[in-house]
Structure 1
Amino acid sequence: MAEGNSKPQPAVWTTVRPFVNGGLSGMLATCVIQPIDMVKVRIQLGQGSASQVTKNMLANEGFGSFYKGLSAGLLRQATYTTARLGSFRVLTNKAVEANDGKPLPLLQKAAIGLTAGAIGASVGSPADLALIRMQADATLPAAQRRNYKNAFHALYRIVADEGVLALWKGAGPTVVRAMSLNMGMLASYDQSVELFRDSLGLGEVSTVVGASAVSGFFASACSLPFDYVKTQIQKMQPDANGKYPYTGSLDCAMKTLKSGGPFKFYTGFPVYCVRIAPHVMMTWIFLNQIQKLEKSIGL
């Protein structure tokens, strides 16, 4: 009888579940990881090492400064992570079905990760722009600060001051960065899960932690150069003559390469890796717990 009443729901829930679960797990992870992300952005903006940035923020702005832009971070997860994890799982399930239930080769997983990253970044780019601007605002001279109150105020001001299309400013590098990050993170995670669980026989906790650490490293290494360029493009301000320091992503990359060499793109890599890996771990852990909860209540 109970099963009969639940028949209409599973079809709908099966479709939306990967998206809902992905968004929820990403938002929960962001609440924990936001301070590290804030320090990472400040390092990329040239404010010193991780210890210097942390010390200066505590002394000059207080503990609350580490959570500046949290509303934008949550909005970003509600859009970007919902779209990328949901689409990755849907596309993976479809590919496994087409492969007669057999595990997918790494190359196919990487291609699905690239696609999911592009989808997620396209949806989440406005929230990502708001997040970067809110995090960078305190580093600007007082006269140049935008003083956004929250993510929605930031989006409103961007549209009002710069037009709707400005919401996708820096979308090119954002999409490329997301594609590289998701290729490294999602493909390596699924591959590592198969290795740790099926080949090495590790338990669930060890598998999740190990696979998350591996995927976090590859996500960081693949995406940081694009993340660096994206951050520079999104936070740039025009000079007195109305000229921007970079004409686009390629110009930013070439000037960065010329002035600082290839390792300049990896500024803040330890903090970036520390930020990505725990976020990946917590996202998957939260996702596993959500899925367990669903099973326990019969969803």
Structure 2
Amino acid sequence: MSSNTFKQAAEAARTKTSAMGKQGSEAVSAAGHDFLHTPIMRAVLPFINGGISGMVATAVIQPVDMIKVRLQLAGEGTATGKRPTPLSVTRDILAQGKALDLYTGLSAGLLRQAVYTTARLGFFDTFMKALSARAKEKGREVTFVERASAGLAAGGIAAFIGNPADLALIRMQSDGLKPAAERKHYKSVIDALSTIVKSEGVTALWAGATPTVVRAMALNLGQLACFSEAKAQLKKHTQLSPQSQTLTASAIAGFFASFLSLPFDFVKTRLQKQQRGPDGRLPYKSMTDCFVKVAREEGITRFYRGFSTYYVRIAPHAMVTLIVMDYLGWLTK
């Protein structure tokens, strides 16, 4: 057989193999596309994308959250004394251990996002799709009141479900403030949850659930509803690119989310951190009692201590979450 014949045969084989490979990859791609567009996956994807987005954002801003919690717990019960700053709190944490201490409670934070953000973004997206479909049938646009209702409902439901992980996060982050002999030295979020259940009972996992739910509703009203409304208005009245609209709307939503939710976040932190004293009593009886005692003993402005840190935590978290979710939505559309 001549060399030309060998070359022709080899070329034919390569062409056939390439065609088969292309057909195979197209078949796999088509199968994947069909799977993503099954009714079940279309219903579940907003929850999956929301959870992944929230976990990525939490991994980015966890040190800021750690500093925010320490600021809220500093000077508890006193109206006077040295006022801590984000910088001084950061120095204290680093002086007591190492840089990785800023990531204390990361496992609890990720679990919280896997539960809480999965639920709140998933429910919000589901509610908004239903509201958009109804508005379209009536020949109108979704109103801000409808967006606000969707945000409030999604936040409340998700916060109640995710309260145990949120409680574990606060306990892990505040453990370092206790005297050395009283520290629990939680190894992970599972260790924290099991320790709480063993020593305080299962119902203790929902300690601070009321302010947690109220905080989440306020935060979602400011974040999701304001983000959705701001983005709609920017799209209608500006020439900004979609990416710029997302970033600008996130910054606007971050401010309102921070302002509306910080007092409830403050009270939630105090209630979840508290443990019974030698007399068997808790420092605060309820959310209302905590509000009253803090206002009387520490001053009304204490509720907004660490606002700048809180905003720096909320706004980037919202931006990262929404950008990642937009990207995942594009990948799975």
The answer for the alignment partner of 2:227 in structure 1 is 189
Q: Among residues 208, 211, 220, which one is paired with 1:173 in the alignment?
A: 211
Q: Identity of aligned pairs, percent?
A: 47
- 1:138-177 matched pairs, under 5 angstroms: 138-177=176-215
Q: Does 1:204 align with 2:242?
A: yes
The answer to which of 233-242 and 210-219 deviates more is 233-242
- Judged with a 3 Å threshold, the aligned counterparts in structure 2 of structure 1 residues 259 and 98 are, in CA distance, closer, same or farther, namely same
Report how far residue 263 of structure 1 moved. 1.4
* Residue 109 of structure 1: aligned partner: 147
> Which one of the candidate residues 54, 61, 84 is aligned to 1:26?
54
Q: Report the Cα distance in structure 2 between the residues aligned to 1:134 and 1:219, rounded to whole angstroms.
A: 25
1:233 & 1:182 partners in 2: Cα distance? Answer: 21
Counterpart Cα distance in 1 of 2:74 and 2:205: 25
Unaligned runs of 5+ in 1: none
**Which sits farther off after the overlay, 100-109 or 207-216?**
100-109
Structure 2 unaligned blocks of 5 or more? 1-26, 76-83
In 2, Cα distance between equivalents of 1:249 and 1:146: 25
- Residue 208 of structure 1: how far off its partner (Å): 0.9
Summarize the Cα distance change of 1:63–1:99 in structure 2 as closer, same or farther, 3 Å threshold: same
Contact 2:105 2:188 in 1 (8 A): yes
2:92 to 46, 50, 56: 56
Cα shift readout 1:214-233 (whole Å, capped 9, x = no counterpart) = 01000000000000000001
Is 2:124 the counterpart of 1:84? no
Q: 1:278 aligns with which of 316, 324, 329?
A: 316
- Counterpart of 1:23 in structure 2: which amino acid? G
| AA at the equivalent of 1:105 | T
Partner residue of 1:16? 44
- After superposition, the Cα gap between the structure-2 partners of 1:210 and 1:5, relative to the gap in structure 1 and judged at 3 Å, is closer
2:129 aligns with one of 88, 93, 98: 93
Deviation by residue 1:193-251 (Cα, 9 ceiling, x = unmatched): 11222221210221111000001000000000000000001111222222221111111
Give the superposition deviation at 1:27.
0.2
3-state DSSP of counterpart to 1:32 = helix
The answer on 1:221 being equivalent to 2:249 is no
Q: What is the identity, as a one-letter code, of the residue corresponding to 2:264?
A: F
CA shift digits 1:159-196 (9 cap, x unpaired): 12211111111111110110110011110000111122
Question: 1:213 and 1:93, CA in 2 relative to 1: closer, same or farther beyond 3 A?
Answer: same
- The whole-number CA distance in structure 2 between the counterparts of 1:136 and 1:4 is 45
| More moved, 6-15 vs 43-52 | 6-15
TM-score, normalised on structure 2?
Answer: 0.85
Q: Which residue identity is paired with 1:279?
A: H
Query: Equivalents in 1 of 2:211, 2:32: separation in Å?
Result: 49
- The letter for the 1-side match of 2:276 is P
- Deviations, residues 130-161 of structure 1 (Å, cap 9, x unaligned): 00000000011122212211011111111122
State the alpha-carbon separation in 2 of the partners of residues 5 and 122 from structure 1: 34
Give distance in 1, aligned partners of 2:32 and 2:224.
36
Moved more, 266-275 or 283-292: 283-292
Question: CA-atom RMSD, angstroms?
Answer: 1.7
What residue in structure 1 maps to residue 270 of structure 2?
232
Q: 2:149 is aligned with what amino acid?
A: A
Q: Match of 2:73? A: 45
Aligned to 2:14: none
Q: Does 1:261 find its partner at 2:289?
A: no
* Partner SS state of residue 100, structure 1: helix
Cα pair distance change 1:109/1:4, threshold 3 Å = closer
Q: Which letter does structure 1 place at the counterpart of 2:251? A: A
Distance, in Å, in 1 between the alignment partners of 2:191 and 2:37 is 36
**Structure 1 residue aligned with 2:105:** 69
Q: 194-203 vs 61-70, which deviates more?
A: 194-203
Secondary structure at the residue paired with 1:99?
helix
- The structure having more radius of gyration, on CA atoms, is 2
